Amino acid sequence: MSTSAKNLVRFLLASVAFMAAAVALNYIVDPLQLFRPAKLFAAMYSQDTRVQDAGLIRSQDFDTVFMGTSLAIHFRQSEIDKALGTHSLKLAMTGSTSREQSFVLAAALERHPKRVIWEMDDWIFVDSDDIDKDIWLPADLYRRNVKGVASYLFSGAMMRESLWILLRSIPPLRPIVARLTNGVMFSFPLSDVDDIYALRDDFDVPGTYNAGKAMAEFVHITEPSRAAYLGEGYNYDAEVKNFERDAIGLIKDHPDVTFNIYFPPYSILQWVAMRDASPATLKTVYDLSAYMSRRLLEFPNVRLFDFRCIQAITHDLNNYSDVVHHSPVIDKKVLQMLASGQYLVDRSAPTASLERLKAQVQAYRVQR
Amino acid sequence: MLFNSYPFIFAFLPLVLLGYFAAGRLGNLAAVIWLALASIGFYAFSGWQFVPLLVLSVAFNYAIGHLLIERKLSPAARSLVLATGVGGDLLVLGIFKYAGFFVANVNALFATALSVKILLPVGISFYTFTQIAFLVDAYRGNVARYALPHYALFVTYFPHLIAGPILHHRDMIPQFERAEAQRPHAHLILCGLIIFGIGLFKKTVLADSIQPLVALAFGPVPPSFDQAWIGALAYTFQLYFDFSGYSDMAIGMSLMFGIFLPLNFNSPYKASSIIDFWRRWHMSLSQFLRDYLYIPLGGNRHGSVRRYVNLMITMLLGGLWHGAAWTFVIWGALHGAYLCINHAWNYFVPPIAPRFARAANIASFTVTFLAVVVGWVFFRADSLVAALSILTKMADPTQVAFGRAEMARAALIVVYAAIAWLAPNTQAIMGYDHKKRIVGENLAAFQMRPWFIYASAAVLAIGILGIQQHSEFIYFRF
């Protein structure tokens, strides 16, 4: 064999050996805790919830699953547990669709929790890609099939995280590595699962949530050039179909699980924006909402809460950073109301709260 | 199929390579036909519906070339045949690439509501230019007779088909005709793998990692001064590592087949002037534009005013070649203006005294780099309004965020800048000389020191481990 041929063989073997070492490192450190809860190395967590949730479902103990969009993202598990007496796992994902939420919930329900708390927005039911075409959510990782596990173990990005976690676990290096850890360079910067997307204690709540910001967003989204976006993707038939598949399908399949579903308290401006700039969209949302309420309450394992017409919250624009996202102060109120059963929708009058909302929306006058 | 994908690296490339060497035992023609068919198969993975167009384009240009090379035509007839060939190529390119742009402008001007929806065939800009060069050279009498399989392979050769380098028939076809290329050569395969690995590393580790920072400037949220700069610089480095990574991969895999492709990059961000930049950036396109547009327009042979006009025309069309949008036109115009200023400066300003040479070099390097970054803002932005908005933010230091996240991102930009400015480029590391057809001579002389073998194996492995789904090369859309 010539020298070049020997070098070629050496090169190929070294490449394979290097990849094998990376796979071994990822398996042993297991940053997502997909194979086992962290013991050898410090547990670290990512804010990329679509990926992180795959590991949380496997590694955490829980009897309650908390699902939702960005409106449910800032809750702390510890606060949920304190308010509701649960052992919860928050799996909320910003901007998530019903297809994503249902898929992740189905994976979590394989661990047999007792209940689901589901922050349910109407817009999650717009048409979306099939879960295997979703580039943000690694479906195979949830399924733990060969493709999913291989993509996890053969990942250079995960190898970087594994090395970092490894370094962080070496006592003399721990302080400096911890100081250098940030969400820009490393995807697993959090050492406490409770901190995933939770707001820090020094977070500027009044600066972020105030009437000025809410009104500015209202003005922005109701500009004639932007008004068309308000109704983007809304189609009653498609949403009903997606709702049946993603929500009702899951509820039906798990009669032993209690689904505590709540419609969150958007600011009144969300509805008024549709009223003024896109009335057809408002009608679609009302119709879908009525359908959802009636359909959900057909199931004995569903408890439905409607917080959309609580004037004390929704008309106080200082609670909002835009027309829908409410402050952590309201998060706490939501937990209190879930615990006390306030605003629980009566099965005999599933659309009564919707009618109250409609009246409020009709009566509201915007003060710019 | 992407170069940075598992099916390509672990199935397509090894299979085609094995088939090529096996066919090579049967003779040169068999190997060439195998490689041409494999290349068309590769193209079909990127867009099977465009395969007929590619095949028709090859047949049309080969026929036109055949008329120009083989037939004894009168000068007028030759001109007519050339005009038919080039016109046909440009017509197809115009329909598929520019019809939508044309209609949008008609609509804007005349308030009409015309609509045209035509998908852009992958690589059409590259294979059209490659063949126009062939026809022009055939007209000039600079082309020998080529067999159809060799010509077809020259156009469709998969390492360059989608995003270049833009090849020249005089460079490539003689290589395809060499029988010895079809025998496996361990040294070339090894060097090819190393270069491929460096390219893959540039793409999957460097370009893909910095991509999220680009949204700081070009995303939906208006940036602050520092965010706009971080985003614009991030795109500057992303584009370089993405495209030069692609070019390295093309050169590396071609080397495994015993074929030397021309260089496309030579550390462009180390350029000390805009003229120098265009000798280092997308070199195969620059050479094409020079030989088949700038020089036929008259180049610098008709006085300085005509030279500047020719430069502007060349760069405007070069900009439009990248995409059917005003942002690309403005990008081309900007670089045309830069080149005019650079030439005028060289002509009118006396040479700098030697004692100031160092300072002058640093100043010209800095100005060149900043000018290029400003150009990339137009190149990347979704619209002229968006580009101007970003540039306005970059010029307004009163609004600064510079929080913890921005500091970390700025540190990342510094790392990328250090690599682009200080690290040797791929051809310097590998001793790749396309003209002399040599690679890795120094490395071979030192018997490929083990540390180099292991380090380059790690680079390839990290490149493979960095593969993400859905990460196309930026130049695929041109």
Share of chain B above pLDDT 70, in %: 97
SS3 label, residue A270: helix
Query: What is the distance in angstroms between the Cα of A216 and the nearest Cα belonging to chain B?
Result: 15
Is A182 within 8 Å of B404 when comparing Cβ atoms? yes
Of all residues in chain B, the percent with pLDDT exceeding 90 is 67
Residue A329 in contact with partner chain B when CB distance is under 8 A: no
- Distance, in Å, from the CA atom of B229 to the CA atom of B214, rounded to the nearest integer, reads 10
Which residue of chain B comes nearest to A187, CA vs CA?
B209
Q: Which of A114-118, B95-99, B193-197, B424-428 has the lowest mean pLDDT?
A: B95-99
Chain B residues near residue A2 by CB distance under 8 angstroms:
186
**At residue A112, does pLDDT exceed 70?**
yes
At A224 the pLDDT is: 82
What residues of A are in contact with residue B222 (Cβ under 8 Å)?
none
Q: Which two tokens stand for residue B452?
A: 């180099």
The predicted-structure confidence for A152-204, as pLDDT tens digits, reads as follows: 999 998 998 999 899 888 888 888 887 777 666 678 888 899 999 999 888 99
> How many contacts (CB atoms, under 8 Å) link A and B?
79
Write out pLDDT tens, residues B342-399: 999 998 888 888 888 899 999 999 999 999 999 999 999 999 999 999 999 999 999 8
Q: pLDDT digit string (tens) for A26-70?
A: 999 999 999 999 888 889 999 999 999 999 999 999 999 999 999
Which residue from B444, B456, B462 is facing A11, i.e. has the nearest CB? Answer: B456
Residue of chain A whose Cα is closest to the Cα of B189: A8
Give A 139-178 residues with CB within 8 A of chain B.
154-157, 159
Q: What residues of B are in contact with residue A157 (Cβ under 8 Å)?
A: 466, 468
For chain B, the residues whose C-beta falls within 8 A of a C-beta of chain A are 185-187, 189-190, 193-194, 197, 204-205, 404-405, 408-409, 412, 444, 447-448, 450, 453-454, 456-458, 460-462, 464-470
- Return the pLDDT at B469: 63
Identify all chain B residues contacting A10, using CB atoms and an 8 Å cutoff.
450, 453, 457
The rounded distance, in Å, linking the Cα atoms of A154 and A16 is 11
* Mean of per-residue pLDDT scores for chain B: 91
Give the Cβ contact number of residue A139 at 10 Å: 20
Tell me which residue in A8, A155, A184 faces B190 most closely, judged by beta carbons: A8
pLDDT at B405: 81
Determine what percent of chain A is predicted with pLDDT higher than 70: 98
Which of A2, A7, A19 is facing B465, going by the closest CB pair? A19
Cα separation, B154 vs B151, in Å, equals: 5
Residues 6+ apart with CB under 8 A from B228: B216, B217, B390, B393, B394
* Residue B343 annotated among the catalytic residues of the structure: no
Sheet with A88-90: list strands edge to edge: A88-90, A64-67, A115-119, A258-263, A302-306
Residue B468 has pLDDT above 80, yes or no: no
Q: Three-state SS string across chain B, please?
A: CCCCCHHHHHHHHHHHHHHHHHHHHHCHHHHHHHHHHHHHHHHHHHHHHHHHHHHHHHHHHHHHHHHHHHCCCCHHHHHHHHHHHHHHHHHHHHHHHHHHHHHHHHHHHHCCCCCCCCCCCCCHHHHHHHHHHHHHHHHHCCCCCCCHHHHHHHHHCHHHHCCCCCCCHHHHHHHHHCHHHHCCCHHHHHHHHHHHHHHHHHHHHHHHHHHHHHHHHHCCCCCCHHHHHHHHHHHHHHHHHHHHHHHHHHHHHHHHCCCCCCCCCCCHHHCCCHHHHHHHCCHHHHHHHHHHHHHHHCCCCCHHHHHHHHHHHHHHHHHHHHCCCHHHHHHHHHHHHHHHHHHHHHHHCCCCCHHHHHHHHHHHHHHHHHHHHHHHHHHHCCCHHHHHHHHHHHCCCCCCCCCHHHHHHHHHHHHHHHHHHHCCCHHHHHCCECCCCECCHHHHHCCCCHHHHHHHHHHHHHHHHCCCCCCCCHHHHC
What's the gap in Å between the CA of B360 and the closest CA on chain A?
Answer: 36
Whether the CB of A7 is below 8 Å from some CB of chain B: the reply is yes
Tokens of B160: 């360059």
Question: A245: which DSSP letter?
Answer: I
Using a CB-CB distance cutoff of 8 angstroms, which residues of chain B are in contact with residue A183? Answer: 405
| pLDDT value at residue B445 | 65
Window from A306-315, A354-363, B143-152 with minimum mean pLDDT: B143-152
B21-49 tens-digit pLDDT: 999 999 999 999 999 999 999 999 888 89
Q: Which residues of A touch B440 (CB under 8 A)?
A: none
Catalytic residue, candidates B150, B169, B322, B343: B322
DSSP H stretches of helix in chain A: 3-29, 49-59, 77-84, 98-109, 139-143, 146-153, 156-168, 174-180, 205-208, 211-221, 227-230, 236-243, 249-253, 268-277, 279-296, 311-314, 328-340, 352-363
Residue type, B138: A
Task: Determine the pLDDT at residue B471.
Answer: 64
Which residue does chain B place closest to A155, by CA atoms?
A: B465
Contact B152, B464 (CB under 8 A): no
Q: What mean pLDDT comes out for the span B151-174?
A: 89
DSSP string across A147-196: HHHHHHHT-HHHHHHHHHHHHHTSGGGHHHHHHH--TTT-S--BS-GGGT
The count of residues in chain A is 368
Query: Does the pLDDT of residue A332 top 80, yes or no?
Result: yes
Name which of B190, B197, B466 is nearest A156 (Cβ-Cβ): B466
Q: Return the residue of A nearest to B197 by Cα.
A: A15
Let me know: does B336 contact B315? Beta carbons within 8 Å.
Answer: yes
pLDDT value, residue B472 = 67
Residue-wise pLDDT tens digits, A256-269 = 999 999 999 999 99
* ipTM (interface pTM): 0.86
From B276's Cα to the closest Cα of chain A, the distance in A is 34
Amino acid at A287: D
- Angle, helices B384-394 vs B326-348, to 10°: value is 50
